[in-house]
Every structure is written in structure tokens, then in C-alpha cells.
Structure 1
Amino acid sequence: MPRHLKSPVPAAQVSAARADVAERVHAILDDIRRRGDDAVREYSEKFDKWSPESFRLSADEVRRIVSQVPGTVLDDIRFVQQQVRTFAQAQRDSLADVEIETLPGVRLGHRHVPVAAAGAYVPGGRYPLTASAHMTIVTAKVAGVPRVAACTPPIRGEIPAATVAAMHLAGADEIYLLGGVQAVAALAVGTETIGRVPMLAGPGNAYVAEAKRQLFGEVGIDLFAGPTEILVIADENADPFVVAVDLLSQAEHGPDSPAVLVTTSERLGREVERHIERLLPGMPTKDFAEPAWRDHGEIVVADTLDEAFRIADSYASEHVEVLTENPRQALEKMRDYGALFLGEGTCVSYGDKVIGTNHVLPTRGAARYTGGLWVGKYLKTVTYQEVTDTASSALLGEVCGRAARVELFEGHARSGDVRAAKYGKGTLPWNEEGAA
């Protein structure tokens, strides 16, 4: 039986503020629908103290901003984007169009067609998440999306130059210095100066995530996102210091970020907890990491590694790091996770920043039914049908007539009847006035 060395605060305590967020977001969305640019500008002034003549950066402004970014930073951006591009291209190449002939002259097929436009939200706020530009924009461009409109907020009234550079180098067609609910709302519903998009992608704070949730259906979205999560599976061979560092690496995302250790070794669990207690006071980001670990940190001891895998699946965590003697066992044993990080040589931070897989991943248990953002999210798999053989059309018409009448769909049946009669040289079971 699993046992907890450390438990989180009760779930009811965590979710108390969500209703207020939903209500405030709903009001902002309604206002932007009604008043367009005027409302967007008011909210940008209110929340970000930002009201430029135009939220969209011109090509000259982009060039000037990028020229201010240190060369090493630009080189690193290019390196990481190439990793993302390489993996996304491999994903795209795995998706083949299909056409088969099921009967003589009956061809059925599907094609993967990119959406006409996508909105990419790149968070700012306290941390400029430059890497989100790679994940959302590069992936969309590899999918073939012709127009990518990207938004990022100013940071304390300043332009986040490295983020703008990342958006530009990733291939964004439009770059807006605009953040929060007002940014995703403007992209989704359109304003006088911002063209609407059929799909939104990218992480954000609770308000951005709620805005995407409320807009879903009107536009497509990548994922319903919540706080960043990490779960580490460790056996007695794991290095407790490495485990502690990796847990805290994700706890710094925010005070509500769960960090969970599932281990087969009580000794290791207690050592990890001691390391965390020593590391936290000196962390520059302890104001986020400390409450995250205090309120959402867990240490669970399992009797066997198989039980540890089952426990991990029950969390369906966004990131699962496997620090065991044979980490690739997780590929066979587990099914519910956003992304796996196998062995001490990798870590969740690689996935977040540099390795090339997408870091926009399912949270709050959504990994039970979906994976993360990938090139396929920007593609619509659409079908087509063609019948060129008259005998096959006559056969399908006969069956269609019978099948439709079982369901009392006389109009459907008659579409089949027409072809059965025309191509099969038969007669209609009803006259041109519609009577049987």
C-alpha cells in the first residue's frame, strides 16, 4: 500500500478562487466583443500600464529590437528553434495523406490541411517565457499555417527584446506587444486592427487559461492549461540531490505548481525532503517555489516499481521524470502523462527550454485523454469521396435507399434512389411530384 511522507493541502482549498477568475474573464470578453480596440486598450492600460500608438510592431521596430539582443542569446534561440523545428518536421512527415479504392471507381481519402491562421500567446509577466515562442510559432509554421499572429505582454513597461527576437526568428507574421485576456480575446474575436484567428495556442496565467476555456468552440485551442506539474519516479538508485533540484525546478513556475515524488525507497524520500529544506531558502525564486512545495508538494512511497508506475498514471501528470535503474520500462508500463523524461541524463527543464519536444502539455489530469501541442494540432484532417464507376454508384444508391428508410430519412433515401435508377437503369419508387 502506498503511504505519504508528505501530503498536499486539501483540494477544496486550492480551487476556491476559480469561480472569481471565470466571472472576471467573462466580463472582459464581453466588453471586448462589444467595444473592440477601445476595450483592448483600456485593459492594456489597466493591467500592464501599456498603451502605445499601435500594439503591432512594425518590421522596422522588430529589426531595431532584435539588433539590441546579445549575439549569444540570438545564437541560443536559433539553436533551440532548430531542435524544435527538426522534431516538428519529423512529426509532420509521419502524417501521410490517404486515398484508397474501396469498390471499383469509389475513392475515399483524407488530407491534412493547416488552419488558415493561428494565434500564439507567449507569456511575460514576471518571467519572459521566450521558449513558448519556439513551441507555438515554429510548430505552426512547420505545419504550414500561412498566418501566425503572436502576442506577448510588456514587462513592467519595457519591451521584452529576447522574446520579440524569438517570435521573429520563429517566423511570426504579426507581432503584438499585448498581454493577458485582452490579447487572446482580440485574436479570437477580432477587432478593428487585429484580425481574428481560428485557433489559439500557448500557455498563460490563470486568466489567460480561463479565457481560452471560455473561447473554446468559437475558436480551437491547443489545451486547457493549468499550473505546471512535475512528478518524479525514483528508485533506491536515484541521486536524492538531483531529485530535489528537479522537483524545485518546476515548483518555481508558480505557488500552485504541484511537485510530486513517487519512490520505492523511504530512505530516498526522506533525503529528498531534507535537501529541499536546505535548498529552498537560497533559491532566488523561493517566493513561488516555497509555497508550491509547502502546499502542493508530495512524497509517496510505493512498495514496488510497478505500483509506482500505477500511482504515477493515476496523477496523469504533465511532466514525468523517471530516475530508475531502467527508465525505459516506463514506456511500456505507463500511459497517462504529458511527456516522459527518461534517466538522469535528461530533465524536465530540457523539455521546457532546449531539447526540441513541445513544452505545451496537458495538466490537471488532461493527460488521460490528450497529448500536448504538436504539429498535428495545427492541422485539420479532412476527408473527400469520389465515385466515378456508375455500377458502384448504383449499388451504393440501392443500399443507401434501404439504410436511410430504416432511419425514416426519406430525403436521404431519395438521393440514393436517383442514382440507383439513373445508373442501374431502373425506375424510381416515387414520381417527380414526390408521391410514392
Structure 2
Amino acid sequence: MVKYIKQMEEIQASEGRNLEQNVSAIINNVRKNGDSALKEYTEKFDGIAIQDLRVSSEEIQKAMKGIPATLLEDIKFSIERIKAFAEAQRRTLTEFEQEMIPGVYLGQKVIPIESVGAYVPGGRYPLLSSAQMAVIPAKAAGVSNIRVATPPTKDGVIHPAVLCAAHLSGADEIYSVGGAQAIAALAYGTETIKPVNKISGPGNRFVTEAKRQVNGTVGIDLLAGPSEVLVVADKSAKVDFIATDLLAQAEHDIETHVVLVTDNEALAHNVLEEIENQLTTLSTAEVARAAWSKRGQIILTENLEESVKVTNDIAPEHLHVQIENVYDHKDKFTNYGSLFLGGNSPVVFADKVCGTNHILPTKGAAKYTGGVWVGTFLKVVTYQKVDETGVQQLAPHCIRQSDREGLIGHRRSAEIRLNGKISL
């Protein structure tokens, strides 16, 4: 029987209906008025009167020269790590052709999507890694055109480090536009921005709602956010590690869901105290404290087996397991966006530099899907070739089944291959 040492606040009734209507109005305006609507919203929401939506090569080179050498080195390091992992994933997806029964050849092809829109959010912090996570797997998949959309800063330009990260990751075009209007532009096109086949990348609730509304017109990766982290810990875990791991995610957004699941009550209370201590020295405490207060949970279980069950029921975006003999228990956890094994495998490494993707399922979606990976940007399609021997194998069964279903046109299509003529 679980016990809540700390429970999150009750979530109030959603303003989802108003959000849906507001985003729909933005999308319709962009579809109707194109570039002028994008410029209108950029001035309204970002406070910037922008002339050129597309970032020029001169602006990119200026940004490259303007950032510190160590920052550029760090960007390149994380790009190499993400690229290496994406390319390793790509090698696992293979094409094949096999004669399944005599004369019937079935095959699989792996084809890149032709064009992808990568959304890179603005917000409180310049999210360099978001550009990398959305662009690099698409590039590794072989996507021929990747269009990045990201909002300008209050200075009227894209943050130089974000611009460099997007460019070095392989973006073919970069546009200074954000929000739901950027999603609409990528989905339907404007005078300047050509429409894409699929949109990837995280964003705020307006961006997520816009992705939901354009889904079907274009593909989307998933509806992600707000961020989530769940730490499973036992008596062997380090209290200060756990507190830093929870607060690292809490500083993202006041809606971040941060959870500790443990079978050790002393640890639970110690973590609660340590979080309060760390908040006193955390420069981002205003956001982190609000998230912890509103959406933080500490769940006490009777044993590890119950901890596993609770965790699989929650299906968190990030699952960090800090228990003894952690590797022996990894297969017990089945529902998560990404799994972090052991005290020295914090979420922050994957958020930034280790190579796995941080665009992951939230709100329980990990029960049925994983996160963004190279396969997000590939189409696995099938083909078939049937020779005369195969016709003899397949047609009699197909004719009888078509007759049973009353689909006489289907029957004739099979029958003419078998007999050279159709029956009445």
C-alpha cells in the first residue's frame, strides 16, 4: 500500500477549450495571410518587428564568430555524441527481400521523409540541445531538407548559440519565428516558408496544441510536455544526488512533474529536507520551487516490487533508477521515455551531451510509444513481387476469400492471373 510523503496539488480544470480556439485562430490567420501573419504575431508575442523571416548565411557566420570558443567546442562535442548514437540506430534498420513461399517475394525498404520542420523553443533559457535533438536524427536518417523555426530574442535576433547549434547540426533553412504560428507555417507554408512533411521538437502548450491541430495535414513526432522526472531509490541512494536530479528538471517549468518513489521512509524525509536546503542556493529557485510545490511528489512503497509497479503505472518521461544492483532490475521497468541506470547517470547528461534524445513522451504516453529517434524520420515500407509460381500459390485462396466477402472485383483481379480470364 503506497503512502504519500508529499502529494502534488490538485490540478485545476483545464483551460483547454480556450487554448484550442486561440491556436485555431492563429493557424487560420497564417493559412490565410502567410508571412504578414507571422510578422504580426512576432511583433505581438515577441515584441519584435521583423523584416526577414529566414536567417541569412551572414547572420549565421556572425553568430559563429560571436560565441566563446569553449561554447562552440561544447556544441560540437554534443553534436558528435548525438550524431554517433543516431547513426548507430540507423544501422539497426535494414532492408530485406525474402521468398516467403515459392514465387512470392516480399521486401522492406527504409525511406527518409523528404522534408522535416524542427521547432526549437525560446522561453527562459536558450535550449541549444533542442536544436540538436530535432535536427541531428533527421539528418542521420537522410532527410533532404530540414527547416528550423525558433523565436527571436528581445534583441530581435535568434540567440547566437541556438543559431550555431541548429546550423552545425545540419539545418538547411532557419527561420526566426516561434509559437503556434511557426507550426502553422511549417504545416501549410507561407510565401517564404515551404511546407514540410513532418514536424518535430518540443514547445509550450500553444506549440503543442498547434501540433495536435495540424497532425494529419503533416506528421508530428509526439505531443510532449511539460517535463517529467521520476526517481526510484532505495536506502543505498545518495540523498543529495536525488535532490539535485529532481530540482534539475523542476527548473524547466512550473508545471514540471517531479516524483520520488522509494521504499525507505527515512530517505524520503531526508530528500524532502535536502530539497528545501538546495532551493536556498539555487538561482532558478523561483521556477523550481513553484514546480516542486505544485507538482512534486514523494511516494513511499512497501518494497521494490511495489516501487516498480507504481513507476510503470505513472510511465514517466525520464526514469532514473538509483538502487542497489540496478542493472539486474532494468527489465522490470517497462513504461518510460528514457531510462537512467545508477546514481552516476543523471538525466542532465542525456538532456545535453551523452547522445540519446531528450524529446520524449509525457503524460503517460510512454505506455505506448518511445521518444524521437532516427526512425521518427524514416518510412519503413513494404513491397511485393509475385511470379507465375506464386500466382498458383496465392490466387485460389484469394478467389475464395473474395467470394465470401462479396467483393467480385477483387475475385476477378486474382482470377484473371490464374485462369487468363474472368468468370461472370
* TM-score normalised by length of structure 2: 0.97
* DSSP 3-state at the match of 2:278: helix
Structure 2 residue corresponding to 1:142, chosen from 127, 140, 143: 140
Deviation, structure 1 residue 317? 0.3
**Aligned counterpart in structure 1 of residue 42 of structure 2, from 37, 41, 44:** 44
CA offset digits 1:328-383 (Å, max 9, x no partner): 23421110001111111110111111110000000000000000000001001111
Question: What SS does structure 2 have at the residue aligned with 1:385?
Answer: strand
Measure the CA separation in 1 of the matches of 2:153 and 2:286: 19
Q: Supply the AA of the counterpart residue of 1:78.
A: K
Match of 1:401 in 2: 399
Pair 1:300-2:299 in alignment: yes
Aligned ranges 1:114-263 → 2 under 5 Å? 114-159=112-157, 160-263=159-262
SS of equivalent residue, structure 1 residue 300: strand
Which amino acid in the other structure matches residue 18 of structure 1?
A: G
The corresponding residue for 2:14 is 16
What letter corresponds to residue 19 of structure 1 in structure 2? R
Identify the match of residue 82 of structure 1 among 57, 60, 80: 80
CA separation in 1, counterparts of 2:253 and 2:329?
A: 28
Measured against aligned partners, the alpha-carbon deviations of 1:104-137 in whole angstroms (never above 9, x if no partner) come to: 3321111111101000011112111110111111
Name the amino acid aligned to 2:175.
Answer: Y
Structure 1 distance, partners of 2:77, 2:4, is 42
Instruction: Indicate conservation of the 8 Å contact 1:122/1:152, yes or no.
Output: yes
Within 5 Å, which residues of 2 pair with 1:416-431? 416-422=414-420, 427-429=421-423
Structure 2 unpaired stretches of 5+: none
Contact 1:126–1:155 (CA under 8 A) maintained in structure 2: no
- Say whether 1:7 aligns with 2:1: no
Q: Percent identity?
A: 44
Structural RMSD (CA): 1.2
Q: Aligned partners of 1:139 and 1:116: how far apart in 2?
A: 14
Once the two structures are TM-superposed, the CA of residue 408 in structure 1 deviates from its matched residue by 1.0
Question: Residue 287 of structure 1: CA displacement?
Answer: 1.8
**Secondary structure at the residue paired with 1:328?**
helix
- Specify the alignment match of 1:432 in structure 2: none
1:353 aligns with 2:328: no
Secondary structure of the 1:282 match is: coil
Maintained 8 Å contact 1:48/1:157 = no
Q: Residue 58 of structure 1 corresponds to which residue in structure 2? A: 56
- Which residue identity is paired with 2:124? R
2: distance between equivalents of 1:276 and 1:115? 45
Alpha-carbon shift at residue 57 of structure 1 (Å): 1.0
Structure 1 CA distance for aligned equivalents of residues 328 and 149 of structure 2: 40
1:158 to partner: Cα distance: 4.0
**Corresponding letter in the other structure for 2:199:** L
Letter of the 2:234 counterpart: D
Matched with 2:336 is 337
Checking the alignment, whether the CA contact within 8 Å between 1:319 and 1:337 is kept in structure 2 is: yes
In structure 1, C-alpha distance between the alignment counterparts of 2:45 and 2:329, rounded to whole Å: 44
Residues 118 and 131 in structure 2, CA contact (< 8 A), matched pair in contact too: yes
Instruction: Give the CA deviation at 1:50.
Output: 2.4
Bigger Cα displacement from structure 2, 323-332 vs 230-239? 323-332
Q: Which amino acid aligns with 2:197?
A: P
1:433 matched residue in structure 2:
none
Instruction: For residue 327 of structure 1, report the CA deviation from its aligned partner.
Output: 1.6
The offset of 1:280, in angstroms, is: 1.5
Deviation string, structure 1 residues 58-105 (Cα, Å, up to 9, x no partner): 222211221111111111111001000111011000011121112333
In 2, the alpha carbon distance for the partners of 1:34 and 1:158 equals 25
Say if 1:234 and 1:270 are closer, same or farther in 2 by CA, change over 3 A.
same
**Secondary structure of the equivalent of 1:386?**
strand
Distance in 2 separating the partners of 1:292 and 1:129? 19
For the 8 Å contact 2:229–2:259, the answer to whether it is kept is yes
Q: Which amino acid aligns with 2:209?
A: E
List 4+ stretches of structure 1 deviating above 4 A: none
Aligned to 2:280, what secondary structure does the other structure show?
Answer: helix
Contact 1:234 1:263 in 2 (8 A): yes
Distance (Å, rounded) in 2 between the aligned partners of 1:254 and 1:212:
20
Letter in 1 for 2:188: V
Question: Which amino acid is 1:31 matched to?
Answer: N
